Amino acid sequence: MLSSFSGYGSRLLKKIAIQRNLFVFYAGMILLTNSSIFSADWPQWRGPNRDELSSETGLLSDWSKQSPKLLWTARNLGRGYSNPTIVEGKVYIQGCREDKSDFLICLDLKTGKELWSVPVQEFYDNGWGGGPRGTPTVSGDHIYLIGPKGYIGCYKKSNGEKVWGVDLIKTYGGKLMSGWGYSESPLVDGNQVVCCPGGEKGTVLALNKDTGKLIWQSSKLKDPAAYSSLIPATILGVPQYVTTTGNSIVGIDAKSGNLLWKYSKQGTYKVAVIPTVVVKDNYVFATAGYGAGCDLIEITGSKSSMQAQKIYANKNMVNHHGGVILYKDHIYGYSDGKGWICLDLMKGEIKWSEKTNQKTKGLGKGSITYADGHFYCYGESDGTVVLIEASTEGWNQKGRLELPEKTKLPRKAGQIWTHPTVSNGKLFLRDQDLLFCFDIKNVQ
């Protein structure tokens, strides 16, 4: 009798345990579903992985049937092209106010209300519009940024209090390839913040992210800095930073700052090099405007001896500054003279192109981002956003969105150069002092 009861009790306890585990599992699934679908933060330039690819799903897929709803407009960001970064319910962005000082600004994600702002550096201006060009990077409790005059600083995420700041030009001999202001967005990797001041003392350097003290500077690479931002990658088993300079495409050892490999573009890179490179395995794709075109290079050799070998170089993709995206082995973006294109990464051949054409309701030159099977293409001249399917089959337009208003600040020769950002089920579009937040969740 006791043995029978013990067996029954054991079976009962097992049944209770199974039911409990199932409840915990399903409860966890419900919690995951409710909390993570639209909770993808955007903590730095081009998103979590610096590739302009959002992991969010459940977004509107056809704007002709349901248009994005404007949630709020922030109106006092000042001049500049800085993208927003979104972390834990806050929006961080840079802008110059009243032509006096560049500011780091924090907004509430739900309302767009300003929570705090702090001055960073004196106003920078030129014929293409003043203000900051780079995007702040959020890491842990701090925000890191680079100002157009070559200042790099660290600030507390909670209230904007300055932790440290360094003048890259005075302290580390920084030099740009041309005179349009530093446009880089800093990379935080482990205990170091990495950037490209350029110049004879070394093109790339790493600072301690907590103190701002120098860890290393790549003294054997003396190229002037371009306007691109670093990408972290592991190639042939070696962690490294890949970027374009004023003369080259390079790989820098992440631990020591040693130059691992270099692919020279001197004489081809003219005026300004802006787009961020794309890295896939041991292949690097780079593009630039002013007729430079694009290159795919393969990094070969060993951990101790790497070489950069050309796979192809052509002018099928000539991207000025709107950026390109690698999606399923194809490159997407705007190519000067060819319009919006899809390029086979490994072959360098154009799969499809869509030039500006009133009959086909095309879209002019602009920037691009990706989310949930679609590209968001943002025209620089009129602020039009076109949603298209992310497909190798052609330009399949799924709706258009016009900015509800345009900035009244003087653009000079500038355009709408801030990239679109998708985060937490929202689409962010900037036009100088104005930041628009649209709801793009599919609630059906």
Report the CATH number at residue 332: 2.40.128.630
Backbone torsions φ then ψ of 22, nearest 5 degrees: -65, -40
Between 48 and 360, residue with greater pLDDT: 48
| Out of 22-26, 124-128, 236-240, least confident range | 22-26
Element of type H or E holding 168:
helix 168-172
| Sheet arrangement for strand 231-235 | 231-235, 238-244, 248-253, 259-264
> 145: Cβ–Cβ under 8 A, 6 or more apart, which residues?
94, 104, 120, 132, 134, 136, 137, 152, 153, 155, 185, 186
Residue 71: phi, psi to the nearest 5? -90, -45
Q: What is the DSSP string of 293-340?
A: EEEEEEEEE-SSSEEEEEEEEESS----SS-EEEETTEEEEEETTTEE
Say how far apart CA 148 and CA 281 lie, in whole Å.
32
Is the model's pLDDT at 341 over the cut of 50?
A: yes
What pLDDT is stored for residue 26 in this prediction? 35
Which pLDDT band, with edges at 50, 70 and 90, does 350 fall under?
very high
pLDDT for 66: 93
DSSP state of 210: T
114: exposed, middle or buried (Cβ count in 10 Å: 0-12, 13-18, 19+) = middle
- Let me know if residue 432 belongs to a domain: no
Q: Is residue 290 part of a domain?
A: yes
Contact 352, 342 (CB under 8 A): yes
Whether 419 has a pLDDT exceeding 90, the answer reads yes
Q: What is the per-residue pLDDT for 8?
A: 35
**369: phi > 0 → left, psi -120 to 50 → alpha, else beta; which?**
beta
In the listed set 336, 352, 368, which residue is the last one of a domain according to the structure? 352
Residue with tokens 């802008």: 95
- Amino acid identity of residue 233, one-letter, is A
pLDDT of residue 433 exceeding 80, the answer is yes
Q: How far, in Å, CA of 323 to CA of 309, rounded? A: 23
Question: Is there a domain that residue 17 lies in?
Answer: yes
Predicted model pTM: 0.91
Average pLDDT over residues 328-337: 97
Q: How confident is the model at residue 35 (pLDDT cuts 50, 70, 90)?
A: very low
% residues pLDDT > 70 (the chain): 90
* pLDDT value for 201: 98
> Residue 80 pLDDT more than 70?
yes
**Domain housing 270:** 228-320+323-352
- Exposure class string for 320-334: b at 16+ Cβ within 10 A, else e: bbbbbbbbeebbbbb
Predicted local distance difference test score (pLDDT) of residue 358: 56
Which of 18-22, 66-70, 390-394 is predicted least confidently?
18-22
Indicate whether 29 pLDDT > 80: no
Residue pointed to by tokens 């345009």: 406
Q: What is the pLDDT of residue 444?
A: 67
Give the list of residues 6+ apart from residue 210 with CB closer than 8 angstroms, or none: 154, 163, 191
How many structural domains compose the chain?
Answer: 2
In a domain, 265, yes or no: yes
Of 88, 144, 90, 131, the closest CA to residue 113 belongs to 90
According to the model, what pLDDT value does residue 411 have? 86
| pLDDT value at residue 129 | 87
Asked whether residue 56 is domain-assigned, the answer is no
Query: What is the pLDDT, as a whole number, of residue 359?
Result: 55
C-beta of residue 198 within 8 angstroms of C-beta of residue 217:
no
Domain membership of residue 137 (yes or no) is no
Contact 398, 59 (CB under 8 A): no
Q: Does 373 fall in a domain?
A: no
